[in-house]
């Protein structure tokens, strides 16, 4: 056995410095976050009015007095809602497999986990390329060939393909959050259900899933929040610079809040004049992602408390 | 699992289990599909089946000839595979013919017109192009001769990532140590989610903030020449990676059993000494994994660098010059390319490279995390 010598407890300059510096780092990060938020809100807050939220782009997209972001709000809402239709069933089922059915040591389980981790690390622009190469060219182009039309109906950027691309991207978010919720359920609950004669499937559907609902909700909310702010995956799969109309079907393109910010930041015809619209849109998007995240944090805190009580 | 009951619903159970398993397996399928379908467009370049030479040996033909040619002739003329030919609309073929004709007419005067610029020699090596007076590394897929050198983009990605990590790693790890080991439990409960809120700021918003606010402030402080550069993009990128690194590092530190630090405290160690001499060394693999996954996040981030890096695909060692990354190049150029053309394929080559790099980074992070878990469980 070797003995370690520890610094003395009495007074300790190094210790105070260590605690002080790490605390300072924490404070600095929070300060940066606060500065970003306060600054952006102070710049864009005054632009956000009822007219700005409900007005369209038909008057003039680049005139701060007239422009509204209603079509972008609709586009963003449509793409994230459509996304949840795909990602929640797939993500929740995968999480159920991983916690309820899989043997944690099996090679297959490790492969699935590795795939989920990998998916979480793939750059968002690569998802964009995947959307173009797979959904638009392969699936969409294939559907066009099957239906025998000369005009591309499916094989072009569309709301549907953007949502599916985002669903693939946010799959790990839903899986991880659902898994956490499933693990927080007391094992005794499952055992009691099985002991009463319920089958495994019945236990999962009637005991485990209802109890995990808040966690599944968290996963969905986090996925929506993540997807709402993403631009790279939708750049080439469905977002449009300007459209006269809001999308009428899933094969239409759409205007989008986050994409609008990118357009105004880089391709604005007059940077000075459109700056208020840019910051106004930023404030609306931030409001969206922050409130979603806040709800997720609160639900999560409740699940964790329950987990501590259960185990 | 171990309980056997003679229940009537057995067949349904088995079907349900198979169905659930197949959905779970689809996650592996998705990763394979991404590799296949991003790679599909890139493989012809990887294996040297694409020729981007502005003039080729085949005599250029007027566009009207398209209708008189057999599919085999069109394929040979445009250098397409049978599958590619089938997947293309007539309009695409016509525009490819036009591009071919134009290139042939303009390109004949240039001594570089016969070069296949998508061969590995020009993707990685320097070359003295006809409009330069010395050999250069340059990505310039415009006009008649498309220059596709990867080196400036790779260096650009590494430069911004380097700045980002230099800024983010010390801050995030220090904060993780503070939050997990030194802060009071009551503070810890809200400090962690508060810092993680940084990830609720979308990267396009960080990019816009960097472009309109940070660029001016940092230029005032450091007095460099170009408003938008690798340094600025790196700092903004650092902000995007802080929550990732912090969150993983904090998890790693918290996963070290309480008994470790309690034993040290009982032996008379102070709080910081227990944290620094016991908990941090035990969590080193996890901290390391947090850093490499942060690296992956930085390499793959698109919008921040697209907006704030200045977008100049030139090779420069200086951190204060405008720069261009792999991700930003894809985002900026894919919209202007002809589907199936060599420029389009080159952007998929960049995507494939990014996918492979992040795949390896994730695998490495996975292995390291696994090791940490095993060490802490004492197996």
Note the pLDDT tens digit of each residue in A83-101: 999 999 999 999 999 999 9
Within 8 A by CB and 6+ apart from A210, the residues are none
Whether A258 contacts A75, CB under 8 Å: no
Residues B175, A22: C-beta atoms closer than 8 Å: yes
In the block, which residue shows the tokens 């995507």? B351
Question: Is pLDDT above 60 for A303?
Answer: yes
- Strands B147-148 and B139-140 turn out to be antiparallel
Q: Determine the residue among A12, A22, A105 to mutate to test chain B binding: the one whose Cβ has the most chain B Cβ atoms within 10 Å.
A: A22
Taking an 8 Å cut-off on Cβ atoms, the answer to whether B16 and A201 are in contact is: yes
pLDDT, residue B122, reads 82
Q: Does B92 touch chain A (CB under 8 A)?
A: no
Question: What pLDDT does residue B264 have?
Answer: 92
pLDDT > 90: what percent of chain A?
60
- Cα four-point dihedral sign B241, B244, B250, B256: negative
pLDDT tops 70 at residue A235: yes
Taking an 8 Å cut-off on Cβ atoms, the answer to whether B175 and A26 are in contact is yes
What is the pLDDT at residue B2? Answer: 47
**Distance separating alpha carbons of residues A282 and A257, to the nearest angstrom:** 8
Question: A308 or B352: whose pLDDT is higher?
Answer: B352
Q: Do B25 and A112 touch (CB under 8 A)?
A: yes
Q: Which of B288, B298, B306 is nearest to B358 (CA)?
A: B298
Contacts of B219 by beta carbon, 8 Å cutoff, 6+ apart: B227
Query: Is the predicted pLDDT of residue B280 greater than 90, yes or no?
Result: yes
Least confident of B30-34, B67-71, B163-167: B67-71
Nearest to A194 among B3, B10, B331 (CB): B3
Q: Which residues on A lie below 8 Å from B347 (Cβ)? A: 129
Cα distance between residue B249 and residue B283, in whole Å: 8
Residue A134 neighbours by CB distance under 10 Å: 22
Residues of B in contact with A205 (CB under 8 A): none
Q: Give the three-class secondary structure for A230.
A: coil
Stretch A59-78: mean pLDDT, rounded? Answer: 84
By CA distance, what is B330's nearest residue in A?
Answer: A125
Q: Quick check: B7 pLDDT over 70?
A: no
Which pLDDT band holds residue B1 (cuts at 50, 70, 90)?
very low
Tell me the pLDDT band of A246, cut-offs 50, 70 and 90.
confident
On the question of pLDDT at B79 being above 80, the answer is no
Mean pLDDT check: name the lowest of A266-275, B92-101, B327-336: B92-101
**ipTM for the complex?**
0.90
Distance (Å, rounded) from C-alpha B294 to C-alpha A121?
10
Asked whether the beta carbons of residue B38 and residue A130 sit closer than 8 angstroms, the reply is yes
A26, B191: Cβ pair inside 8 Å?
Answer: yes
Span A219-238, mean pLDDT?
Answer: 94
pLDDT band at B313 (very low <50, low <70, confident <90, very high): confident
pLDDT for B107 equals 53
For residue B370, pLDDT over 90 is answered with no
Residue range B127-147: mean pLDDT, rounded: 82
Using the predicted structure, report yes or no on whether residue B86 has a pLDDT greater than 80: no
Q: What is the mean pLDDT of residues A193-216?
A: 91
Reference B164, options B354, B50, B304, B336; nearest CA is B304
Q: Please list every residue in chain B whose beta carbon sits closer than 8 Å to the beta carbon of residue A282.
A: 205, 208
What are the tokens at B231? 């340094």
Region A90-115: mean pLDDT is 91
Tell if the CB–CB gap between A6 and B277 is shorter than 8 Å: yes
Mean pLDDT of chain B: 86
Taking an 8 Å cut-off on Cβ atoms, the answer to whether B9 and A202 are in contact is yes
Mean pLDDT of chain A: 89
- Is pLDDT at B176 greater than 60 in this prediction? yes
Mean pLDDT of A217-228: 93
Quote the pLDDT of residue B69: 78
Neighbours of B128 (CB within 10 A): 11
CB A92 within 8 Å of CB A172: no
Q: What would the mean pLDDT of B90-106 be, rounded to a whole number?
A: 76
Nearest to A122 among B267, B355, B365 (CB): B355
Among A48-52, A122-126, A283-287, B241-245, the range scoring the smallest mean pLDDT is: A48-52
Question: What integer pLDDT is reported at residue B55 of this predicted model?
Answer: 58
A235-249: average pLDDT: 87
* pTM of model > 0.90: no
d(CA B249, CA B24): 28
**pLDDT > 90: what percent of chain B?**
50
């Amino acid at each position: 056995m070797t003995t370690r010598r520890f610094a003395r407890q009495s007074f300790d300059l190094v210790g105070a410095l260590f605690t002080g510096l790490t605390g300072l780092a924490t404070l600095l990060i929070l300060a940066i976050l606060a500065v970003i938020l306060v600054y952006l809100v102070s710049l864009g807050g005054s632009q956000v009015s009822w007219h700005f939220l409900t007005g369209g782009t038909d008057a003039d997209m680049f005139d701060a007095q007239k422009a509204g972001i209603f079509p972008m709000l609709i586009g963003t809402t449509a793409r994230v809602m459509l996304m949840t239709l795909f990602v929640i069933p797939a993500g929740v089922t995968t999480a159920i497999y991983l916690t309820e059915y899989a043997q944690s040591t099996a090679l297959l389980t490790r492969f699935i986990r590795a795939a989920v981790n990998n998916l979480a690390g793939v750059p968002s622009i690569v998802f964009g390329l995947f959307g173009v190469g797979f959904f638009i060219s392969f699936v969409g182009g294939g559907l066009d060939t099957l239906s025998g039309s000369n005009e591309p109906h499916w094989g072009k950027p569309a709301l549907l393909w953007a949502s599916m691309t985002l669903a693939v991207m946010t799959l790990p978010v839903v899986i991880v959050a659902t898994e956490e919720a499933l693990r927080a359920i007391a094992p005794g609950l499952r055992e009691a259900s099985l002991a009463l004669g319920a089958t495994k499937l019945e236990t999962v559907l009637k005991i485990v899933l209802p109890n995990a609902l808040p966690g599944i909700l968290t996963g969905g909310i986090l996925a929506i929040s993540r997807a709402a702010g993403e631009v790279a995956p939708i750049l080439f799969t469905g977002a449009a610079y300007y459209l006269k109309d809001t999308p009428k079907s899933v094969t239409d393109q759409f205007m989008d809040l986050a994409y609008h910010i990118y357009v105004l930041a880089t391709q604005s015809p007059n940077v000075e004049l459109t700056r208020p619209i840019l910051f106004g849109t930023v404030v609306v998007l931030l409001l969206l992602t922050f409130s979603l995240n806040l709800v997720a944090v609160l639900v999560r805190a409740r699940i964790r408390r329950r987990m501590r009580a259960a185990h | 699992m171990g309980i056997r009951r003679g229940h009537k619903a057995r067949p349904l159970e088995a079907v349900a289990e198979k169905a659930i398993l197949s959905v779970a397996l689809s996650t592996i399928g998705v990763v394979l599909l991404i590799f296949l379908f991003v790679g599909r467009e890139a493989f012809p370049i990887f294996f040297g089946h694409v020729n981007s030479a502005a003039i080729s040996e085949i005599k250029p033909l007027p566009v009207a000839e398209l209708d008189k040619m057999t599919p085999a002739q069109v394929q040979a003329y445009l250098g397409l595979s049978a599958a590619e030919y089938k997947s293309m609309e007539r309009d695409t073929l016509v525009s490819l013919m036009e591009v071919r004709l134009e290139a042939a007419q303009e390109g004949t005067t240039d001594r570089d017109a016969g070069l296949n610029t998508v061969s590995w020699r020009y993707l990685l090596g320097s070359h003295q192009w006809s409009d330069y007076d010395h050999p250069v590394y340059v990505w310039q897929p415009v006009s008649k001769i498309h220059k596709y050198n990867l080196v400036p983009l790779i260096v650009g990605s590494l430069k911004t990532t380097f700045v980002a990590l230099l800024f983010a790693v010390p801050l995030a790890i220090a904060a993780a140590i503070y939050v997990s080991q030194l802060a009071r439990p009551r503070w810890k409960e809200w400090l962690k989610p508060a810092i993680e809120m940084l990830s609720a700021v979308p990267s396009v918003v960080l990019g816009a903030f960097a472009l309109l606010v940070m660029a001016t402030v940092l230029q005032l402080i450091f007095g460099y020449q170009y408003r938008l550069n690798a340094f600025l993009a790196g700092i903004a990128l650092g902000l995007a990676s802080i929550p990732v690194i912090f969150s993983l590092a904090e998890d790693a530190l918290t996963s070290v059993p309480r008994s470790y630090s309690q034993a040290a405290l009982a032996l008379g160690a102070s709080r910081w000494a227990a944290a620094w001499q016991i908990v941090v060394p035990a969590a080193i693999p996890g901290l390391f994994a947090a850093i490499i996954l942060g690296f992956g996040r930085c390499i793959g981030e698109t919008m921040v660098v697209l907006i704030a890096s200045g977008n100049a695909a030139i090779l420069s060692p200086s951190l204060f010059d405008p720069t261009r990354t792999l991700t930003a190049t894809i985002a900026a150029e894919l919209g202007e390319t002809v589907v199936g053309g060599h420029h389009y394929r080159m952007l998929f080559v960049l995507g494939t490279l990014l996918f492979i790099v992040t795949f390896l980074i994730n695998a490495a992070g996975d292995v390291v995390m696994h090791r940490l878990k095993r060490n802490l469980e004492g197996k």
